[in-house]
Structure formats: structure tokens, C-alpha cells
Structure 1
Amino acid sequence: KTRYGVELFNCLDEEWKTSRGKKPHMLYMLLDFSSGYALDEYEIQGDMKIASEIIFGLRLAYYFFVNEKYVWSFAMFSTKANEYKHIFKLDNVLAHIYSHEHKRLQPGQHLFIFLQIDEFQFILKDRKERAELFKQLMYVLGYHMTGKIPNIFIQTLLSGTAPQDAIRAMEPSTYSCEPLDLPLLSLESRLDIMREFATNHDVSDCVWVPKIWIHQLLLDTGGLPRALEYLFTELFGQKFTNIKEFFENLEKRIPIPSTIYANVTNDINKAYKIKAYARNHKILIYELIYRNIMVIESDMSDELQDGNSTEKLEHLERDRHLILRKLEGKIKF
């Protein structure tokens, strides 16, 4: 999902042709609400509209002015800034970003911020007022899609696992959410990504393509972007700093594919708690596996037996226990 956002922004930046006037000055920003930019309960106290403005203002201020420039986490920054949080309303922060970028702008050129909010379901999760908070946060951003500050436009992309909750939260309102169908990566796409890593380091196909175990590991990810990310991290190191060394050592030292596979599955399990969930919900897991093997068409509202209770498919998707893929030409999954 994150990669899709980056590539969508790059496509806009490179291909956008305006019918009149100058093309806007483009900025990409990514806020991950599952980790680095997670919400804290103290942030949503008091007036929800003001809190929503500060929630985004603090995060954009940190992303633009602090992140990768100073050795401060967002948690540390927000704690220090809490005493002065009233000055971090979104309008003020956007004005400062515009002022900072102004020297790069040509006369009459506008600022376009492509804001990707990743793992947005954490905004909705485990809070009684979660739907209202989400709606208010989207309102705050929506004002900047309709010209609240004439020279600044924000386009929002939500990426996460609760599309139905987001759509319902915005109904009825001035703004709406439209889901994008993001298919799992094909094996060809996975090989293309691997090839990109190689060619960027002057490595030809003959070095890695004959290695069957590489193809098998790429196949085993199932096309899940997060699984693919964990695999490449295992192969190339954190932040992909060991790419050159990996390809240089392919002939000298043969990696053990089973060890790589085990490490990647452990990383996935740590992130999504799959084993623990399966142990505690055996009947539900059996039914999911049965539906998958037998290719049984399902609706988002289908309720599956989970011990003495039931769970809707859409809730399983929201809570990151399931990925639903729409059947071609149908509204079922």
C-alpha cells in the first residue's frame, strides 16, 4: 500500500499536464498511524475539531521540519511540543511549510501536498468515539481540498485495512471515501522488483535468475506487499543497505532458503499475531481455510462462527487478520 502511494505520487509528479497555469509544486508526505505517528489518548481530549487540527499539525510539522534532520522520535517531539500545541494547528503548520518552500515556487505556482495516511484503521480502533474522530480528521483535511488556503492543496490517500468503516464514517457528510482496488502483486511484478534491485547495482539477470530458491521465496510471499518487504529486508538488510553484498556473495556463500523463510514468517507473525489468533479462534480459522480451498463466494457482511459468537468478514479484514480479494466482474470476494 505504501509503495502504491509513492508510485501514484511519482506518476502525478512526472505525468501531470495542466490545461492552464503552472503545474503545482509537489510534496509527498507519509504518516504511519501504526507506529511512528500513532495516536495517544491525551491527544483526543477536549474539543474534537481543535484536537483534530493539532493531531495533523503536529505530525506534518515533525515530518517536514524534524524527521531525518534531528535525532528525535515523534513521541519525544510531541511531548516537548505539548505545552505549545495551540500553535501547531494545521493551518499554521501549512503556512510555515508554504513559507519554507516559497523560494522554490515560481510566481503563481501553488503547493500540492500528497498526504498518505497509512494504517488508518488505528484511528478507528478501540475508541468509543472512533468514527466521530475519524470523520473530524477527514473534515480538517477536506477543508484543504476545497481551497481554505488558496495557494495550498492537500490530496489525501488512506491506506489500511478498514475501507468499509471509513466509507460508513463519512456517510452522510460533505466528503466521501472512494476505495481503490489494489490487487496482490503478481509473480511477474515481484520478479520486476527483484530485477530493479539488481540492475540498480549493475547486476545482470544471469547472476540471480537461475537461482530457483529466489523464485520460490518470491512465490511464497503470495504477492502480499508487507511479506515482500520483509523478504527483501531479510535478503538486503535493514533499509536495504546490503544489496551489493548480497549479489556479490551469491556464488561464494549459498544462503539457506529455509532459514530465510523462517525469519520472514517470524517477522510477519510478530507484526500480525497470526499464530496466537489462530490458536484462540480455531473454528473460525477452519471455516476461513475451507472457504478459501473450496473457492466459496462471500460477502463482506457474511458472519462466520467463532466459538460461541460470530465475526463478520469485514471486521476480520479491518483487524488485519484477513485479506479479501474481489472476484473478477463480481461484487463478491
Structure 2
Amino acid sequence: MNFRDNFYLSRYDSELKSEVIFGLRIAYAFFIEKKYNTTFLDFCSRALQYGEDIFIFDSVIYYCYESLKLSNNQKLFLYLHIDEFQLIDEWDAQNKTNQLFGNMIRGISKFMIGEYSTFIQPFLSGTATRAITKQKKATGISFQFVDCPLLDIKSMILIMDHFATKFKASTTLLNLEAPIKKGAARKGVAPETKGVAPPTTKHVYKWKLCAPLLQLLIDTGGLPRALERLLDVCFKTLCDNGKEFFEKLNYDYDEIFSIVKGDLQEMYAINRKVYGEKELFMNLLYHCVEGIPVKKNKCLDNKGTTVRDLQTDGHFSLSPYGGQNLFLIEMPFFFVCIYNDILEIIDVELMKAFSVNNNNMYWQEWELFVAHHISFRVNLAIKMGGNELSLRNLHPGAYGTKENLDIVMKLKELNIYKSQFPLNLNLINSDDRWNNGHCVVVNGTSAESSKIFYIMEDVSGVFYLIMGQNQWDYGSKKMTEKNVSDEDEKNFNSVKHSELQGYKVITIIFTTQPYEGSENLPEILIVSKDNFKSYFGPVFSARATFSLTRDINPNFWDINRLKNTIKGIGDDSVIAKRPYISEDHFHNVNPKADKRHKLDFFPFDIQGTEIYAPDHLIEN
């Protein structure tokens, strides 16, 4: 019985006794819902004409048993799932004299501990489990909390495929046929071919080629209720049904993100909780974003509130970390955005800073991603009372020399600005000075040198110019030491004879490739895909990884991106040959493409998921 949908509480219920409110819903679920085409409200308006007493909870349970015509010695085991039970608690808050939740629990408990012909096993699911603790004291009934682990990406893809199958979602033909190798054929002999495969009738779902939708799945963090709201918005709010959604797929996914975020905020009452206890939830967010392992009894405020206490609210999960009863706090990106709206860690909405709609995240967008991530972590540390951090803590997991990583920097609140260095250093739409220590500057797209830079002062009074360089090495599958040194040299030369001269320079290289070379290069920090999770932390790493790997995934590029990235591609046919399900498949149908590049084929490369749509769904 879902108290948000068919069984929602209305103002009409306030005129009924709690035993009747609950009894009516049991009667509808047991006798009516699956057998007759009538709504719950219509059922109530007709049924109550016969009086309320026959719908008292105890009476309805008796009628359920009698309707099955069981023999005298048989017991009825009734499994009762009450979903969205927090809405009952909210309704009680407005109806102080008619407490439905407490009376409901007391009514059920009789059939759990008494000698009745029916045994009821309740299962409650919702987002306000601290309300359960109150009922434990009031009724003497104990509750066993069930740990609900987050879904992994494999599970979410399987769930999406389930609905794609159910709604007969649109598919696209998979091209497995390799082109014929050029060359004269001998008379009467078929021309030689290379890697030829017979024509295929295999299809794949089009939704797997929709990068913004995949991003939203990742943003749910695998929290079942967040995934449920996302699917509800896609299949019910935007469209009349899932089939329409899968056929179109071209939506404003930032707007979908906003709707889901609003729904989750309302479901979990995050605004009310966080506004009331900012210190507590700031501390929770800090441990989450920084990936700091905690014990369940870790106290987060001066009132003694622990991680375990907050876990019962259900909007984050704890994943085991290295034994010793330590856990990482895993919170979906939707909730981090809600927290930022209230706590104002950075002065823009995170959902706008990290837009979903951009299918092709080129470097300008990626630079903004990194800049906002740096600002968010520094500002959060300041709000937690910090005034200095080492580069090791500012850039966790980055490769670098011990001397560089141990440099301790003073912290100043950061904001994001844009400029056109080396043409000039004036900040766009701002009178602030770029070197005041409060600016993370994102450089113009035409700049050959650093795309991000900012000034920091160490505790000894030395000023540093931190220059971030986002780099692909399209010529190989690994980022080499020489590549890194060349980028550092480029940054160093760009500073000469400019307003940036006079600062000590530290270069940070971001790359999608694994790094191969010395991890101790002076004045250089390296963040490769290998250490993304350490660097970006539990919250942002999934977004960072997907954003970067999208740019090495040929299924998500436009033709200009492909030409600029992979040598040997010169015509539009590479787009027409999509989708690509593996590196072998890509090179089989594009034999001229340079094979030195490391490509990504998410989500087709997720083990345990089906690549192909079922054959029976394919229509002419």
C-alpha cells in the first residue's frame, strides 16, 4: 500500500477514526484493487454508505480470513507492505487528536503477538525512520532496520533494460559488417576481405546512446528511491507512458534533474532538517565529500547525534571501508545539490555548475567542472573552521613530490571567473583582481597554456600560481612523462613576460589516460584516471569519470570531435555506423582509424548486462 499514490491521505480521512482509515485501505487492497476498475476514493464514497463500523481494521482482517474459506486449523499469513509511511507521520502532525501511525502499529501488533487465526508481518518503507523509534517506545514493539545497499550501475542498467523491454523501446541496428578491402579481384574469385562479418540483425536500445540519461542514472547514486523518482518523472510526468519517453529521448535533462531534485527534497524534508541543524549536516557533507571514513557511532554535533542516527533518514548509505568498522558516506549527487542550495558552499546551484544537457563535454565544460570542484572543497573546508591545508589534502591522490605535496596553503573563499589570458587578465563581468586569492580563473578556449589558474599563499608568505591543464594524449594509450613535462614547459613559457611572472608555478595535469613515468616530478602534480576516485572523492568521482570518458567514447562524439581525435577518420560514415559496442567492433567497421587510442564504450562494456535488445521486440 503506497501512501503517496493510490492510498494517499486526504482531508476526508480527518473525519474518520484511525481504525477505519486503515481498515478501508486494507479492504481496498485485499478485495478491490486487482479485481475491479475503480479508484480508492470511489470505493470509499460507495462503501461508507453502509456505515463505518464494518471497516474497522480488526473487522476487515476477519473478513479477509473468512473470504479464503480456510479450515479451522489453518492460519493466514498476511504480509503487509506499507510504502511512503513518512506521509502518515506528516498527516499525524496536522491531526494531533487522531494519531493514525501509532494506532495503526498498535492494531497490527495484536496480530503479531496474540492468538489469532491471522498473523500479520508488516514491512514499512519510507524516508522518516526516526518516527519508528517513537512508536517503539509507545507500543513496546521492536523494529528491525533493514540495510538497503545502493544499486550498482549494472543493476540500474538492467532495470532500465527491463522497462525498455516492457515499453518496446526504440532500437537501432548494429553494424557488424566490415568494409571490403580495396584491391583488384581475380576473375571468378571474390575479392579478398579483411575482418568481414556477415550482415547482422542485432539491435541495441537507443537509450544507451543518450549520455544525459546515463548521467542522471549515475546521479541517483544507486539509491532506489532516487531512481524510482527519476523513472516516475521520465515515464509519467514528461509523458503519458514509458513508450513515448523511449521513442523521443530528446528532453531537457537539466529540467528533469531539477524536478527529481525537488521531489526528493520534499520526500526527505531536507530543507527543514538542514536549515534547523546546519552545523550537523555541514559536518555530514564534509565527511562525505572528502571521503573521510567514519564509524557508525561518530558524533557529528554537540548534541550527540551520530552517523547511525542520520542514516535512518535514508538519503545516504554507508559502504564498508578497510575493516575496523569504518565506513564511507555515500550520498547521491541530487542530495549534495540540495545541501549546497541551503548551506551556500559555492554561490551557484551545483546542478547549473555541472550541467547534464551538454552531450559533448569539451574542455571548456570540463575546466568549469574542475574549477567548481576545487572551489567547493576549499569553501567547505573554510565553513568547517579550517584556515589552511596542504597540497596533499587539497589534491588528494595526485602524484607529486613529497616537498610539493607537503606545502601548506592558507585558505580563502573561492569563486569562479573567466578571462582571455594571454590577451589580457581582466576578469569577464567582474571588477575583482585575478590575484586577490579569491579567484579560480577559467581561461578562454583558444588558450594554448593552462586552462585554469589561481593564486594561493603558503604559510611562509610565498605566493604560488597553480595552473591546471586538462590533457588528452591522443597519440597513445598512456600519458607519458615526456607529455607531462611538455605541458609544464608550455605553462612556464606562457608565464614569461606576462602579469603572471614572479609567482612560483605549480602545474596540475588532468588526463583520461593511465600515467606512465615518474610520480615525483618537481612542481608538477598529476591526476590521471587511475586516481580520479581519490582526487574527486565519492561524490564527484562518478561524474568526473563519466564526463571524461564520454570524450573517449565514440558513441557520444560529433563528427568534428572524431576527426580531431582519431586519425584516419574523414567522413560522416563513422556516425552512421554507430553504435559501437567494443574496441574490436569499432576498428572492424572503421579499419583506417588509428589503433593507438584508448577508447571507452560505456554502457555496453558493463559486465552482466545485455548488449542486444530481444529479437522479438524488433519491428520493421
TM-score, normalized by length of structure 2?
0.38
Within the candidate set 139, 144, 148, 2:111 is matched to 144
**Aligned partners of 1:92 and 1:289: how far apart in 2?**
48
1:181-226 deviations in Å (ceiling 9; x for gaps): 1112221111111010112244453422233322211101111222
Q: Work out whether 1:243 is the aligned partner of 2:242.
A: yes
Equivalent pair of 2:84/2:126 in contact (CA under 8 Å): yes
5 Å matches for 1:80-91?
Answer: 81=48, 84-91=51-58
Partner of 2:79: 114
TM-score, normalized by length of structure 1?
0.65
Q: Work out whether 1:220 is the aligned partner of 2:219.
A: yes
**Aligned partners of 2:138 and 2:263: how far apart in 1?**
40
5 Å matches for 1:17-56?
Answer: 30-32=1-3, 36-38=7-9, 53-56=19-22
Within the candidate set 61, 72, 79, 1:94 is matched to 61
Q: Work out whether 1:304 is the aligned partner of 2:305.
A: no
Partner of 1:323: 315
Measure how far apart 1:62 and its partner are: 3.7
**Aligned partners of 2:18 and 2:54: how far apart in 1?**
13
Within the candidate set 22, 27, 41, 1:73 is matched to 41
Q: Share of identical aligned residues, percent?
A: 30
Measure how far apart 1:110 and its partner are: 5.1
1:45-84 deviations in Å (ceiling 9; x for gaps): 9xxxxx664443233124345657434538x938984994
SS class of match (1:237): helix
Equivalent pair of 1:236/1:242 in contact (CA under 8 Å): yes
Measure how far apart 1:315 and its partner are: 6.1
**Aligned partners of 1:80 and 1:223: how far apart in 2?**
41
**Aligned partners of 2:146 and 2:165: how far apart in 1?**
31
Larger radius of gyration: 2
Q: Work out whether 1:60 is the aligned partner of 2:31.
A: no
Measure how far apart 1:314 and its partner are: 6.0
SS class of match (1:32): coil
5 Å matches for 1:126-275?
Answer: 126=93, 137-146=104-113, 148-150=115-117, 152-163=118-129, 166=132, 169-170=135-136, 175-203=141-169, 205-238=204-237, 241-250=240-249, 254-274=250-270
**Aligned partners of 1:274 and 1:139: how far apart in 2?**
29
SS class of match (2:27): helix
Measure how far apart 1:133 and its partner are: 7.3
Note the residue ranges of structure 2 that are not aligned, 5 or more in a row: 170-202, 330-620
**Aligned partners of 2:238 and 2:55: how far apart in 1?**
31
Measure how far apart 1:44 and its partner are: 11
The alpha-carbon distance between structure 1 residues 245 and 64, as it changes in their structure 2 partners (threshold 3 A), is same
Equivalent pair of 2:19/2:57 in contact (CA under 8 Å): yes
SS class of match (2:124): strand
Indicate the structure with greater helix content. Answer: 1
The alpha-carbon distance between structure 1 residues 58 and 146, as it changes in their structure 2 partners (threshold 3 A), is same
Note the residue ranges of structure 1 that are not aligned, 5 or more in a row: 1-29, 46-50
Identify which of structures 1 and 2 has the higher relative contact order when contacts are C-alpha pairs closer than 8 Å and 6+ apart. Answer: 1
Measure how far apart 1:155 and its partner are: 1.6
SS class of match (2:77): strand
Equivalent pair of 1:117/1:157 in contact (CA under 8 Å): yes
Q: Which amino acid aligns with 2:227?
A: L
Measure how far apart 1:128 and its partner are: 11
Q: Name which of structure 1's ranges 34-43 and 178-187 shifts more when overlaid on structure 2.
A: 34-43
**Aligned partners of 2:268 and 2:46: how far apart in 1?**
28
Measure how far apart 1:115 and its partner are: 0.7
The alpha-carbon distance between structure 1 residues 193 and 40, as it changes in their structure 2 partners (threshold 3 A), is same
Equivalent pair of 1:116/1:157 in contact (CA under 8 Å): yes
The alpha-carbon distance between structure 1 residues 227 and 149, as it changes in their structure 2 partners (threshold 3 A), is same
Partner of 1:8: none
**Aligned partners of 1:240 and 1:154: how far apart in 2?**
38
**Aligned partners of 1:291 and 1:186: how far apart in 2?**
22
Partner of 2:538: none
Q: Which amino acid aligns with 2:257?
A: Y
SS class of match (1:209): helix
**Aligned partners of 1:58 and 1:166: how far apart in 2?**
23
1:21-60 deviations in Å (ceiling 9; x for gaps): xxxxxxxxx1527994449898699xxxxx6644432331
Equivalent pair of 2:106/2:139 in contact (CA under 8 Å): no
**Aligned partners of 1:176 and 1:231: how far apart in 2?**
33
Equivalent pair of 1:34/1:122 in contact (CA under 8 Å): no
Equivalent pair of 2:83/2:125 in contact (CA under 8 Å): yes
